[in-house]
């Protein structure tokens, strides 16, 4: 089995597909917050006028976005994105209506945060410190399975606590007023 299967040019091995209410607004959000490039020739509307397919280029990744159809369940996307500056990304996200879940926090040598966008998707946002790569490669026996509490720190407890709270608070935007 290949660790890097063939994919079309411009696609990574794994590229997210987000179903959302208000796909055009989500597309604008991703462009404004992350600097993604909209691929207008890829946008396809369904016969009901909803977005059936739209593509955004973000770094080496392709994000596909479509409108959720009436009667389809709410399926929030959970996405991890690397950025140059977490604080600047959070400022842009807040300005576009995102709810910050986890403030910028030092996390294993990187800076990490989370926010929920107005459509209910949860974004993990990191600024990576390349020097940390060597530390990860040198540490551990590769077996994993350790209890996260054995690594406890105030930062880790905060990051874990905000995740538990955010996941428990995820709600279908169509029924959030109920």
Instruction: Give DSSP secondary structure letters for 62-123.
Output: EEEEEEPPTTPPP---EEEEE-S-HHHHHHHHHHTT-EEEEEEEEETTEEEEEEE-TTS-EE
Q: Which CATH number among 1.10.760.10, 3.40.50.300, 2.170.190.11, 3.30.720.120 corresponds to the domain 12-75?
A: 3.30.720.120
pLDDT at 143 over 70: no
Band (72; pLDDT cuts 50, 70, 90): very high
Q: What is the CB-side half-sphere exposure of residue 36 using CA atoms within 13 A?
A: 24
Using DSSP, state whether 124 is helix, strand or coil: strand
Lowest-confidence pick of 1-15, 90-104, 116-130: 1-15
* Mean pLDDT within 79-104: 96
Whole-number Å distance between alpha carbons of 106 and 8 = 36
Lowest-confidence pick of 50-54, 74-78, 112-116, 139-143: 139-143
Instruction: Give DSSP secondary structure letters for 14-73.
Output: S--EEEETTHHHHHHHHHHHH--EEEEEEEEE-TTSSEEEEEEEETTEEEEEEEPPTTPP
Q: Which residue ranges make up each domain of the chain?
A: 12-75, 76-173
Share of the chain above pLDDT 70, in %: 84
Cα Rg, the chain, nearest whole Å: 18
Lowest-confidence pick of 37-51, 106-120, 162-176: 162-176
The topology (CATH level 3) of 76-173 is 3.30.720
* Mean pLDDT within 161-167: 91
What per-residue confidence (pLDDT) applies to 132? 57
Band (63; pLDDT cuts 50, 70, 90): very high
* Burial state string for 150-159 with b = 16 or more CB within 10 A and e = fewer than 16: eeeeeeeeeb
Task: Quote the crossing angle between the two packed helices 86-95 and 23-34, to the nearest 10°.
Answer: 150
What per-residue confidence (pLDDT) applies to 111? 92
Band (107; pLDDT cuts 50, 70, 90): confident
């Amino acid at each position: 089995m290949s660790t890097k299967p063939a994919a079309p040019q411009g696609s990574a091995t794994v590229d997210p597909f987000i179903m959302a209410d208000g796909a055009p607004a989500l597309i604008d959000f991703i462009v404004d917050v992350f600097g993604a490039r909209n691929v207008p020739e890829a946008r396809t509307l369904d016969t009901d006028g909803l977005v059936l397919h739209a593509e955004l280029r973000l770094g080496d990744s392709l994000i596909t976005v479509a409108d959720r159809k009436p009667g389809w369940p709410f399926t929030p996307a959970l996405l991890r994105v690397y950025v140059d500056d977490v604080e600047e990304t959070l400022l842009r996200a807040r300005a576009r209506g995102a709810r910050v879940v986890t403030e910028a926090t030092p996390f294993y040598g990187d800076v990490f945060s989370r926010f929920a966008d107005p459509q209910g998707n949860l974004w993990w946002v990191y600024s990576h410190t390349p020097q940390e790569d060597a530390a990860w490669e040198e540490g551990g026996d590769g077996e994993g399975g350790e209890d996260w509490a054995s690594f406890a720190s105030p930062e880790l407890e905060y990051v874990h606590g905000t995740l538990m709270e955010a996941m428990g608070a995820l709600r279908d935007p169509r029924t959030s007023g109920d």
